[in-house]
Amino acid sequence: MYLKNILTILAIIAVLLFSGCRSKRMAIPEAPVPSPRGTVPENVEDVVVLPSAPAQVNEPETPPVEVIEELVEEVDPIPLREERFTFAQETDKAIHDTHLYFVILGSFRSPDNANRFMDALIEQGFQPVILISESGLHRVSIDSFTDEEVARIRVQRIRSNYPEYKDAWMLIRKN
């Protein structure tokens, strides 16, 4: 419903903006036919043309970033998976144990492959953590959050800023 309201408001603004942008060629009246010198045309009226001001619509300001991200999310939904897991290292558990939402960039059966991928992510400036699922997969997470919406936004930013991670997804910790 919120998205429909925003789209309706944007459509109204677009109509108002473009309705005042007609071509100047359309606004120029036909040139009057000159009358012979010394004669006055029969139907002379005083016409005053005033420039028109564009219509102003006072609408509540909405941050455009939120709208864009909601639209992107609808076009390309974020895959979610809920599962139980353990942290590969106790130090990671101490930092991320209270978080429920994890941004995942890779899953590996082999711990060696997960560690190599983690090393590559560290070189790119990420701080990855390896999570071991109940099924034995080693999930490489680059962020964790307590708020789902913030986690979704992070996944979208990773997808848009790093095309090589366009398949990033979100893992929800199952209790």
The CA–CA distances, whole Å, from 139 to 14, 33, 87, 111, 143 equal 45, 82, 10, 10, 12
Alpha carbon 55 to chain centroid distance?
29
Mean pLDDT of the chain: 78
Q: Is the pLDDT of residue 81 over 90?
A: yes
Please name every residue paired with 131 in a beta bridge, in sequence order, or none if there are none.
87, 139
- Are 98 and 175 in contact by the 8 Å Cβ rule? The answer is no
CATH numbers and ranges of domains, the chain: 1-16+62-75 (no CATH), 78-173 (3.30.70.1070)
Q: Is the pLDDT of residue 73 over 50?
A: no
What percentage of the chain has pLDDT greater than the value 90? 55
Least confident of 32-46, 119-133, 135-149: 32-46
Q: Is the pLDDT of residue 83 over 60?
A: yes
Q: Is the pLDDT of residue 27 over 80?
A: no
Specify whether the backbone of 137 is left (phi greater than 0), alpha (psi in -120 to 50) or beta.
beta
19 token code pair: 């309705």
Per-residue pLDDT, 175 = 82
3-state DSSP assignment of residue 170: strand
